[in-house]
A and B are shown apart, each in its own frame.
Chain A
Amino acid sequence: MLESLKREGVDLIFGLPGGAVLPIYDALYDFEGIRHVLVRQEAAAGHAAEGYSRTTGRVGVCLVTSGPAATNLVTALQDALMDSIPLVAFTGQVPTHLIGNDAFQEADNVGITRSATKHNFLVKDGDDLAGTIKEAFFLAKSGRPGPVHVDLPKDILVKEWDFDYPSTVHLRSYNPTYEGHPGQIKKAARALVRAKRPVLYVGGGAISADAAPELRELAELTEIPVTQTLMGLGAFPMAHPLSLDMLGMHGTYYANMAVHHSDVLMAVGARFDDRVTGRVDAFSPNAQIIHVDIDPSSISKNIPVAIPIVGDCKRVLVKLLEAVREELKSYPAGAIREARRQWTEQIAEWRRDQPLRYEWSEDVIKPQYVMEELSTLTNGEAFMVTGVGQHQMWAAQYYRFKHPRMWCTSGGLGTMGYGLPTAMGVQAGNPGRLVVNVDGDGSFQMNSQELATCHEERLPVKTVIINNGGHGMVRQWQKIIYKERFCAIDLGPSPDFVKLAEAYGCTGIRATKPSDVVPALEKMISTPGPVVVDVWVDKHECVFPMVPAGGANTDMIVAPPSREVRDRAAKSQTGF
C-alpha cells in the first residue's frame, strides 16, 4: 500500500495510528520516502491534508484507524467536499469476517462517509488494493476535485498479494468534461465584449484549475472588473485597479453593487452560494449570466444561467481569450475602454462612497486594524489560514491577497477549528515559508491541542487569535437581529492563551492595546517555532458590510444599524 502511495507521488501523510491500521504503521517504520505527521485528533489530519493540498496543488493524504477515528474524520471530509479540495483519506476497518458484527472500534465507515465524499471504497480483497488506490487518486484530482475515502479492513492489510500497480484508470461511468463547448465560448466572448456593465465573479474553482494568469489576462484585455468569492481570494490580485474585492454577505459594497447592476455577469469556478447571492430572485436581476464550471450540477442550480460552459476553468479561459481577441478585431483600439468608462466611473463612485472602513480607537484594539497591519508586515506574501467566524471575514476583507493558493479557509462548511490543523498542513507542504493562522478564541479552542503537533513536528505556524472573549459572529447576529438577547456566547477570560502556548512548548505573546499590535506581530514573525499571539480586541465590533440572511444584496447594511432598523428587523422572521 505504501508503495502505491509512493507511485502516486505522495511524500507526506497526516495520521494517527490505531488497532486496525497497525499493519500500515508497521510498514511505515522502515519505509523510506514518506513523511508521517502525527496529529493529536483525527479531524486535524483531514484538515492538515486540506491545507497541504490547497497550497501545493497536490492530493492531500490522511490515514486514521477504524471506528471513532473514522467518525472524527468525517467533518474534514465534508469540509473538503464543499470546498472541492482533493484528498484521499484512508481509514482502518475491522477484519472482513467481523464486519457487521459490532466488533471493537467498528463503524460503518463507508456508510457514514458516503454523502461526505466525492466517492468512497471498501476494499474487500487485497488484490483490489492497488487498483482502488489508483482510482481514488484519479477521482480525487480529476473533474471537480474532492475527497475520496478508502476503507481498509485489517485482514487485507496483512495478506500477501502480488503488487501490480496499474498505470492508467478508465472508468466508463466517469468522464468529466474539460474542454468548453466552442459555440458557447464564442457566445460568451461576444456577450463580454458587447457588455456595457460587465463583472467577472471568480470562485475557488479558478484556483483549483490554476486559472489565475488567464483570468487576469481576460480582465485586462476586456477591462472587466473582478470580484472574488471567499474561496476565490487570491485568484486576482487585490491591488489591481480592476479588483472589486470580495462579494456576498460580508463582501464590499462596491462589489455587491457592481454585481447587482451588471448587464453581463460571468462566473468562473463559483457556484452561486447563498452567502454570495443573498435572496436569489433579487440577485443580479438584469444580467445575462455566463457560468464556467467543471461541474454541470453547479450550473443553473441556484440561479438560471444564460450561457453555461461546462469545462476546466483554465482551458475554457484560454479558448475564451482567443475568441475575445477575434471578437475585438472588429473594434477600434481603445474602444473597449471608452465603452466601459461610464461603468468604471460608477464603480469608482461606489468605492468612494462606501469603502471598507471601521472606527479607529485609541483605547481598544480594532480587529480590522490587526488584519491591516498583518497584511502590511507580510506584504501580502504570507500563507493565510483562518478559523470560522468574524475574524475569518475580517481577514478576507482586510488582507491584501496577491497570489492564488495562499489562502485556506473553510468556505462551504464553515468548520470552526479548521485554522490551526490546516495551517499545520500548509506549513508541512511549504517548509520555510511564513504561515499565519488567524483564528478566533472560540474557533481556536476547537483544535488547540494541535499546538503539540506544531511543536513536536517542528511546524512553525504563527497563530493570531482575535480574542473577543466569545462567539463573536453569534453575538453579532444576536445584537443586530435578536434584539440584543445575548445567549450562550461568552467564553470568559480563560484560558490564558499565552500560558497555553507555553504549556505546549510554543511561544505566547499578548497584545491588549493598539500600540501593542505591530510590535507583537513583528515579534511573532521573527520568533522561530510556533507562536501564538493573543490579541484582545473590541468585543462589540461587528463585521460590516453585512447582507442579512434572506435579504437581497442591495439590502446591505454598511454601518451599525439604527434602532428603528433593528426594530423593523425584529418584526420579521428572517430579519430586515
Chain B
Amino acid sequence: MSGDDPRKHTIAVLVENKFGVLSRVAGLFSARGYNIESLSVGETLDPTVSRMTLVVRGDDFVIEQVIKQLHKLIDVIKVTDLSEEDHVEREMLLLKVNAEPAARAEILRIGDIFRAKVVDVTPTSYTLEATGEEGKIEAIIELLRPFGIQEVVRTGKVAIARSPKNRVRKVEETLGKRPGPPRPQSQDPKVVGFAD
C-alpha cells in the first residue's frame, strides 16, 4: 500500500476514565501490529475523562487505520493527530548519574545548560530532573553518559495543541466542563523558562 515514509505521529486520545481502558488501547496496538513508541496517561479537567498521548510510527496509511481503530473502541471519546497541527511536546526525564568529586561541577554545568534540576544528591551521585522535547532529553542523556548513568526514567511524551482554537480544547468544553480557573504557574523558573 502506498503512503508516505513512516514518521512519528503524536496522537491525543480522550477516553473514559474507566478500568480496563488502558489495556484496550494497548491491546489494540499489539493485536494489530502497530508500533507504539510511548504512551502516557493522565486525568483531564473532567475526572471522568483521561487523556492519553501516544507516539506511533507509521506511514499515512497506517496512521489513518490507527486513528480509525482507536475510534472504534467504545470507550474512546476523541482522537486527534497532533502532528497535523501546531503543537507543543514535552517529556520529563529523571536520571541518576555517578558523581565522583572530580565530576560534580561538570555535571551541574551540563544540567544548567539544559535547565535541569537536581532532585536528589548523595556523595557519589546526582539525580537530575529535566523537561523538554525528545531531542533535548536525548542530548542530556548523551552528555551525561560518560559519567556513568545508573538509571534513567522517562515519562513518555505529552503534547498539547498550540492554538486556542484547537479541536481538543473544544471537545473538553462540549463535555460540559468549562475550562477551570487558570492553574498557578509553576514556581520553578527553570521549567517555565523553557517555553519556546
Q: Is the Cβ of A297 less than 8 Å from the Cβ of B1?
A: no
Q: Is the Cβ of B74 less than 8 Å from the Cβ of A280?
A: no
Known: A171-B74, A172-B77, A173-B74. A114 touches B68 (CB 8 A): no
Q: Is the Cβ of A174 less than 8 Å from the Cβ of B27?
A: no
Expressed in whole angstroms, the minimum distance between the Cβ of A103 and any Cβ of chain B is: 19
Considering the complex, give the chain A residue whose CB is closest to the CB of B14.
Answer: A173
A280 to B61, CA, bound (A): 15
Point out the residues of chain A lying under 8 angstroms from B77, CB to CB.
172-173
Q: Which of A162-179 contact B (CB under 8 A)?
A: 171-174
Known: A174-B74, A297-B68. A110 touches B20 (CB 8 A): yes
Known: A111-B23, A114-B20, A115-B31. A296 touches B74 (CB 8 A): no
A176 to B60, CA, bound (A): 24
Tell me if B195 is interfacial: C-beta within 8 Å of chain A.
Answer: no
Point out the residues of chain B lying under 8 angstroms from A280, CB to CB.
1
Q: Point out which of A139, A280, A296, A297 has the most chain B C-beta atoms below 10 A from its C-beta.
A: A297
Q: Is the Cβ of B75 less than 8 Å from the Cβ of A172?
A: no
Tell me if A301 is interfacial: C-beta within 8 Å of chain B.
Answer: yes
Expressed in whole angstroms, the minimum distance between the Cβ of B67 and any Cβ of chain A is: 9
| Contact digits for B64-82, partner A, Cβ 8 Å, 1 yes 0 no | 1100110110111100000
The size of the chain B interface, using a CB distance under 8 A, is: 23
A115 to B31, CA, bound (A): 8
A337 to B176, CA, bound (A): 56
Q: Is the Cβ of A301 less than 8 Å from the Cβ of B65?
A: yes
Q: Which of A287-339 contact B (CB under 8 A)?
A: 295-297, 300-301, 304
A519 to B28, CA, bound (A): 52
Which residue in A118, A139, A296, A304 is a CB contact (below 8 Å) of B1? A304
Which residue in A110, A139, A171, A296 is a CB contact (below 8 Å) of B68? A296
Considering the complex, give the chain A residue whose CB is closest to the CB of B176.
Answer: A172
A111 to B24, CA, bound (A): 9
Q: Is the Cβ of A139 less than 8 Å from the Cβ of B71?
A: no
| Contact digits for B18-37, partner A, Cβ 8 Å, 1 yes 0 no | 01100110011001000000
A41 to B138, CA, bound (A): 56
Measuring CB to CB, which residues of chain A are less than 8 angstroms from any residue of chain B? 110-111, 114-115, 118-119, 122, 139, 171-174, 280, 295-297, 300-301, 304
Could you list 4 further interchain pairs (A-B, Cβ under 8 angstroms) beyond the known A118-B74, A173-B76, A304-B2? A111-B23, A171-B74, A172-B175, A173-B77
List 25 interface pairs A-B (beta carbons < 8 Å), by A numbering: A110-B20, A111-B23, A114-B23, A114-B24, A114-B27, A115-B28, A118-B74, A119-B74, A122-B19, A171-B74, A173-B15, A173-B16, A173-B75, A173-B76, A173-B77, A174-B74, A295-B72, A296-B68, A296-B72, A297-B65, A297-B68, A297-B69, A300-B61, A300-B64, A304-B2
